[in-house]
Amino acid sequence: MESEMSSSVTSDQPASDPIRVIYVMGAGRSGSTALEGMLGDHADTVAVGEISAIFSSIWDERCHCSCGERGPDCEIWRGIFDRWCELTGLDSFEENGPLNAKYESLKRFGLPQWRRQMRAAHEPTEEDTTWLQRTHAIYQAVADVTGKRVIIDSSKNPLRARSLCLTPGLDVRLIHLTRDVRGVVWSRLKAYRKDPKNGFGKEHAPVPVWRSVGYWGLTNLIASAVRRAHPECLSMLLRYEDYTAEPLREFARISEVTGLDYGPIAERLVAGHPVRPQHTCAGNPVRMKGAIRLAPDYQWMDNLPESMKRRSWLLGGWLARCYGYEKHPTVPAAAAPEVVENAPAKAA
């Protein structure tokens, strides 16, 4: 099996020199875009946003890089596209969409996809090997075009995290990012009009409480399962509330997992200095604003209706407690009042 799996490494990637991928997984609206921007501020890294999103129609129709250009018109992303096509023999990102969904879609609770990944880990078929080749190729393309061997990917999908853990030639470091379920519910209640230039690739209608809690729970459960299934990959649990309130402490923990010194970056963030997104594609619209500051968002505590708070905790509190959340939380004393991550640029 080992020899078969090793064949998925491209000829351009020496097995002794793996590409390091720092992967942020967890439920959306948990502060992943801001965290990615902070991680990508390190000189040895490149932050490219949600890589998994490019394997859908978002690439041609509504993908805008944080540099302001459409994905296909951005010099960096155009280079990544051309290099990926060269490595895979395909003509578009969308050609890989159906295969990618087979292994990483969360439909049917992700169970069929998890089984396919188990098969790929032990008795890979030709399709499994193709999937692993294409998975490796996108990170190889990013490394070739940017010259960086450490890539920050905030795709969030935990099944993609497992894909990376199974892909030869990658040194994967996992950050399981969580946020209070009620904060996620509040964020997903917001409606946005389609405005690709400002980072809104499609319209967002308010999401009911039960769906948001279900999505939050499923995503976090799978993320926890991935960490247990792959102890060989360095990983950590990181709470949004902790990294925004105690950045010096939490970025020291991040340094241990990633193998990079984030101390100076944490100090700059505490001093109020912003980080600037590089060439991130997909993600929270905050990436299009030109600068990201360390600014926690606790709006849900005042603005989420009490009935929704109770419903959210009733449905998701059992899991939230596992991550250290309390039924009646308070805003950390160190938390700043300014809101950045979830402030909509244009609300419906």
pLDDT in tens, 152-178: 999 999 999 999 999 999 999 999 999
Q: What percent of the chain has pLDDT over 90?
A: 70
pLDDT band at 275 (very low <50, low <70, confident <90, very high): confident
Residue 190 has pLDDT above 90, yes or no: no
Contacts of 314 (CB under 8 A, 6+ apart): none
CA 78/CA 29 separation, integer angstroms: 28
Mean pLDDT for the stretch of residues 78-93: 95
pLDDT band at 340 (very low <50, low <70, confident <90, very high): very low
- Write down the pTM of the prediction: 0.88
Residue 108 has pLDDT above 80, yes or no: yes
- Residue 200 has a pLDDT of 54
pLDDT in tens, 131-150: 999 999 999 999 999 999 99
Which range of 6-10, 71-75, 219-223 scores highest in mean pLDDT? It is 219-223
- Residue 1 has a pLDDT of 30
Average pLDDT, the chain: 87
Residue 62 has pLDDT above 70, yes or no: no
- Residue 225 has a pLDDT of 97
Comparing CA positions, the residue from 348, 288, 291 lying closest to residue 62 is 288
User: Pick the residue with more confidence: 282 or 315?
Assistant: 315
Q: SS3 for the chain, per residue?
A: CHHHHHCCCCCCCCCCCCEEEEEEECCCCCCHHHHHHHHCCCCCEEECECHHHHHCCHHHHCCEECCCCEHHHCHHHHHHHHHHHHHHCCCCHHHHHHHHHHHHCCHHHHHHHHHHHHHHHHCCCHHHHHHHHHHHHHHHHHHHHHCCCEEEEEEECHHHHHHHHHCCCEEEEEEEEECCHHHHHHHHCCCECCEHHHCECCCECCCCHHHHHHHHHHHHHHHHHHHHHCCCCCEEEEEHHHHHHCHHHHHHHHHHHHCCCCHHHHHHHHCCCCECCCCCECCCHHHHHCCECCCCCCHHHHHCCHHHHHHHHHHHHHHHHHCCCCCCCCCCCCCCCCCCCCCCCCEC
**Domains of the chain listed by start with CATH number:** 2-322 (3.40.50.300)
pLDDT in tens, 249-267: 999 999 999 999 999 999 9
User: Pick the residue with more confidence: 345 or 239?
Assistant: 239
pLDDT band at 5 (very low <50, low <70, confident <90, very high): very low
